[in-house]
Structure 1
């Protein structure tokens, strides 16, 4: 049998061992899904504490239950920091971070370092899938040469695909199984194997002609959101100057049954994808002599929103004859989106840093983030304060940055001296509320 026939048969009869590298917001849901379908899964991560916790049946991600991890363990899942385990895997799925560096250029070092770590253990009759968001060409330019330098031939001995992650933490409607999966292969044979890898666990697999097409698809999805959010954020600023409620405008426009999709403004962009992915394309486009003005303009607008929120807060304090310097400010919600514990690229943190730099005394309340985590670029030694009437009244101002459903919005309104609403929770006009 050919190598592709062997791996396809193993995937079909579920005798294939699935290796998942990176056990975070993307990798761990895949662990759960492959395990519940009946595959043996090996999870690899460089964080020993995470690995130890998972092997004890403990989830460190709020929306992934401890029970689901324990069930996966009972079905044969185990986590490790040992990359040599890759040799025992028939499929290896890479789910590692792809951040930006300080110059807002793509940092694919995690992908490259992971590839270097697994390279000694690659063998024939394996499929390698990269899920990390990246610029078009990464799979062919960075992964393929490293695989083939040892003599393995992609498309004949080993099969290489790119399939962008589409996880949406906290989404109660769509999950790993129900979100369609785009797959592109380095060769047509690679594509066939890649489709087989995912069709066992995903309801709909969408094959495309190349890894570059799949990589560009992911970028388009997130750039589409970034540009539209940038547009509505700019509309918010214009509407504010004109005394118009942008949320009322959006709701009215959304009644049009065609040609309009509602996007809502906020304090900035957050999450690992939307604030970052557009810059992957702008960087790659320069190689082809293209300046992505439209995308970069949207990025500038979105990046300026935390400063806009702080300026609105300062205006409100000034009206009360208070200075931001020395004022006590409570930030409500520091996760990047409602009802999750995900802090990646959260605009709330940018707001907190700007407030601190201007001399304010900053606290936060977030029912999903009890203690401010250690982050690569941000540092606060804070714990979430209790949301009580007495606590609220003790702050000079409260900034609603992330509108978690767990917040008591009547309590917040009734007890805040000054409330800056960045999410449109308070649609009516209130003397103490500033809409930002």
Structure 2
């Protein structure tokens, strides 16, 4: 009997551990608002179609064909159900490998209508990406009383990545179309009836999602952006130019707050192209409260002459701020932790997809915690009118230079300047920029 038990124990030790790719982790040193909130979370998948959208991939020789553009949406919302979380099957960066990831959401659980309608937050991924890339943020926001809707942008996902011009043209259009679509689905007989208040909406975009968010917040692009050599064909991007009637019509009063994480497009010189997607006039068109998040070593969107230049130019935004992860790259803040399956070399890519999710300096869970903390504070302030959250955005610039001075019972002493919601020493490596005039 002892020998059988020993053999069984040895077999368990030798067996490979099944990957448990958790997206709902909160570190013990996470800032105060990073954790999941009081609501259990439900998840469902919906699909919406925009009829008559310009078919960018087939624009040629003056032809302007249209098609019905379908977008898959992942929706997270509060629920009172107490079922086991449902794993998600997701496609990874190579467009072929799949993995199971696990959070807290319960698939197709009924909505908790006790606090409805909840504010809407639209989530927009990069190029390529998919609607699960920021699933951790969607779940966390739903747990704090939001309906989060993450878009699979057609022609821009891992599975259907197509010419870049489609993403340039369609990204802000998709974002605002989904706002319209959710508003309709929240009406009588719709799948989100009474659950969500689309007139009170936020938008979070990462990389190319951030590019779209900058345009959706009011920034018209330049002629250099229209003429980008690897961009949209035959000048069709002119609809997003400063002063264009179509661009002005895109700006929606229902959109109350925007978060742009590593927004791409400002620094075209990095790509051998003269000019920038936005100039001073275009950026001055930003008219939404906007919070940026960036890595200071971002080599894709470029920090100083790219992301920070967009932030500097948003002079007419009712509020502008920026969270900076010092020495982090383009993967700062947004992507979920790299699934274990992404650690292996991809024959298709010639590199391990791990690099698409992770940062060389910062721990991903740590960055996710910080992003969730600031997203909660920002959205609570602007979508829920929670004035107490303003303190979480009124910070000295250098977190590492802030002063910790508290009594043993936690009461701040005179001279305490440490970041609200952060424990001692946990704001090191972070900057917070804002317009303090």
Instruction: State TM-score, norm by structure 1.
Output: 0.25
Structure with greater contact order relative to length (CA < 8 Å, sep ≥ 6): 2
> Which protein has the bigger strand share?
2
> Which protein has the bigger helix share?
1
Instruction: State TM-score, norm by structure 2.
Output: 0.25
